[in-house]
């Protein structure tokens, strides 16, 4: 059986109603699975890749402290570019202390502001992260949502005070989500996180993991 | 082009670029980096991105070339070993289930693109020709050469 190529499936995703391969996909489990996978990857792009890379696409030279965020307002009617704040306010109490700290910033129509642990943010808001590591570490930033879905966002070496490039656009689904910053082998971090799953929502750190850690939980509001 | 227009084009075509890069690089972080670079390259021909009929084959071509170069360069720099590519269609002259990097890297990027299009993506020769902007005859000729050399290389490696 000849299956449509990815290029044909891309055309199908763009205009399913005019797709010449729609009938085949309807009858072929393998192609339906591939289309579902492609949709998931498209969602990942919109949620993680787009916010993280838009700045680089718009600007040939990376200037981390003047990064622009693209916001997708809930109504989806317009996009607004905001200048990201570069640091927390002096009275910010989020997830400070220890060898590693993590600060999340939400880009809101009123401006970018740090998010306190447990605070509500709009479910479609963009977030940006800043970490401070006392020692050089391979940092993995991932999130776990209410369904236990683990999303790996970054993995890179950091030292000192670092604003992570780009950002993350939340998925628009109301509910809790916790973001973890963990120093250590990225594969081990990911495996540990996947093993724990949704339970990680209620944990401030991954148990039995020796590397420095910090986390912040948000409540995505409709 | 205005920044808002670029952002909108990126939002429209970025998913297809990202999926193509994931398919060829099989690594989310490498695919993320490649996606932004591919799109910046694609922006050099904004008129193609504005035309829905031209945009998809155009970004497919740019992404394929870029990612195949990335695969080759990663090997040369001795960086991470990228996973070999799964062969989608059975081909009598290429019985391997995977298209291994050491075979692929012995050919120019155009030949690599053709081999990946036919063997990995399962595309017809005509579709590959259309997507890569070359003649069907070129596809057949380069693919035949690739299969012949690849088969000999694999036989030598096995011996």
pLDDT-based confidence at residue B78 (cuts at 50, 70, 90):
low
For residues B130-155, give the mean pLDDT: 90
Q: Measured in whole angstroms, how far is the alpha carbon of residue B127 from the centre of its chain?
A: 14
Mean pLDDT of A113-123: 87
When pLDDT is averaged across residues B4-17 and rounded to a whole number, the result is: 92
B13 part of contact set with chain A, CB < 8 Å: no
The mean pLDDT value of chain B amounts to: 85
Which listed CATH number (3.20.20.140, 1.10.150.250, 2.60.40.2550, 1.10.357.10) goes with A62-221?
2.60.40.2550
B32/A53 CB distance under 8 A: yes
User: What integer pLDDT is reported at residue B12 of this predicted model?
Assistant: 93
Task: Tell whether the model's pLDDT for residue B34 goes beyond 90.
Answer: yes
ipTM comes to 0.86
Does the beta-carbon distance from B40 to A56 stay under 8 Å? Answer: yes
Chain segment A12-49, per-residue pLDDT in tens: 998 888 889 999 999 999 999 999 999 999 999 998 89
- In which residue are the tokens 């990612």 written? B67
Which two tokens mark A20?
């010449």
Q: What is the pLDDT of residue A1?
A: 58
- The Cα–Cα gap between A123 and B39 comes to 28
DSSP state of B117: I
- State the pLDDT at residue B81: 60
Mark yes or no for CB contact A5/B122 under 8 Å.
yes
- Please check whether residue B53 touches A, CB under 8 A: no
Q: What angle do CA B22, B98, B111 make, to 5 degrees?
A: 75
Please choose, from the candidates A203, A174, A176, A206, the residue with its C-alpha nearest in 3D space to the C-alpha of residue A193: A206
Rounded distance between C-alpha atoms, residue A201 and residue A206, angstroms: 10
Residue of A nearest to B7 (CA): A54
Cα gap A48→A168, rounded to integer Å: 5
Contacts A6 to B, Cβ<8 Å: 19-20, 23, 121
Pairwise CB contact (< 8 Å): A7 & B57? yes
* Phi, psi at B39, each rounded to 5°: -65, -35
What was the pLDDT predicted at A170? Answer: 81
CA distance A220 to chain B (A): 23
For helices B125-132 and B136-158, the axis angle rounded to 10 degrees is: 110
Side-chain-side CA neighbours of B125 within 13 Å: the count stands at 11
Cα separation, B146 vs B112, in Å, equals: 8
Within 8 A of B60 by CB-CB distance, chain A residues are 7, 10
Contact yes or no for B117/B152 (Cβ under 8 A): no
From A14, A46, A70, residue closest to B7, measured CB to CB: A70
Packing angle of the helix pair B3-25, B52-76 (nearest 10 deg): 50
Nearest residue, CB atoms, A79 vs list B7, B14, B35: B7
Say how far apart CA B122 and CA A99 lie, in whole Å.
Answer: 50
Q: Which two tokens stand for residue A185?
A: 């082998």
Is 0.90 topped by the overall pTM? no
Chain A positions touching B11 (Cβ under 8 A) are 46, 50
**Min distance B101 CA to chain A CA atoms (Å):** 21
The DSSP 8-state label assigned to residue A18 in this structure reads G
- B10 pLDDT exceeds 70? yes
Q: What sign results for the dihedral spanned by CA atoms B97, B100, B103, B109?
A: positive
CB B16 within 8 A of CB A49: no
- Among A3, A7, A60, A67, the residue to mutate for chain B (most B Cβ within 10 A): A7
CB of A203 within 8 Å of a chain B CB? The answer is no
What does the pLDDT read at residue B16?
A: 96
pLDDT value for A215: 92
At residue A86, the pLDDT reads: 36
Q: Tell me: the pLDDT tens digits for A134-174?
A: 888 888 888 888 888 888 777 778 888 888 876 777 877 88
Q: Do B127 and A7 touch (CB under 8 A)?
A: yes
pLDDT bin (cut points 50, 70, 90) of residue B17 is very high
Instruction: For chain A, give every domain's residue range.
Output: 6-55, 62-221
């Amino acid at each position: 059986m000849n299956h449509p190529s990815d290029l044909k499936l891309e055309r199908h995703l763009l205009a399913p109603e005019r797709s010449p391969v729609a009938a085949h996909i309807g009858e072929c489990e393998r192609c339906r699975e591939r289309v579902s996978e492609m949709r998931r990857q498209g969602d990942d792009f919109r949620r993680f890749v787009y916010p993280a890379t838009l700045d680089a696409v718009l600007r040939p030279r990376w200037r981390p402290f003047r990064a622009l965020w693209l916001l997708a307002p809930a109504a989806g009617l317009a996009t607004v570019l905001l200048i990201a704040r570069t640091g927390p306010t002096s009275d910010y109490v989020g997830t400070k202390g220890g060898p590693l700290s993590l600060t999340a910033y939400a880009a809101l129509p009123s401006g970018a502001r740090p998010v306190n642990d447990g605070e509500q943010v709009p479910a479609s808001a963009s977030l940006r992260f800043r970490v401070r590591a006392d020692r050089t570490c391979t940092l993995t930033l991932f999130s776990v949502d209410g369904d236990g879905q683990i999303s790996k966002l970054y993995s890179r070496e950091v030292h000192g005070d670092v604003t992570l490039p780009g950002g993350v656009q939340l998925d628009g689904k109301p509910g809790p989500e916790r973001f973890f910053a963990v120093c250590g082998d990225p594969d081990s971090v990911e495996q540990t996180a996947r093993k724990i799953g949704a339970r990680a929502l209620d944990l401030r750190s991954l148990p039995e993991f020796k590397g420095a850690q910090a986390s912040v939980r948000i409540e995505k509001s409709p | 082009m205005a920044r808002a227009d670029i952002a909108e084009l990126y939002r429209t075509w970025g998913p297809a670029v990202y999926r193509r890069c994931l398919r060829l690089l099989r690594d989310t972080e490498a695919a993320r980096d490649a996606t932004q670079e591919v799109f910046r390259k694609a922006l050099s021909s904004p008129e193609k991105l504005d035309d829905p009929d031209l945009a998809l084959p155009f970004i497919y071509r740019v992404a394929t070339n870029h990612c195949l170069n990335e695969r080759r360069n990663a090997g040369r720099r001795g960086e991470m070993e990228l996973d070999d590519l799964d062969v989608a269609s059975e081909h009598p002259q290429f019985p391997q289930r995977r298209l291994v990097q050491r075979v692929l890297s012995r050919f120019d990027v155009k030949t690599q693109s053709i081999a990946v299009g036919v063997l990995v993506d399962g595309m017809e020769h005509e579709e590959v020709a259309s997507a890569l902007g070359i003649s069907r005859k070129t596809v057949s000729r380069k693919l035949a050469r690739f299969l012949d050399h690849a088969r000999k290389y694999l036989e030598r490696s096995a011996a």
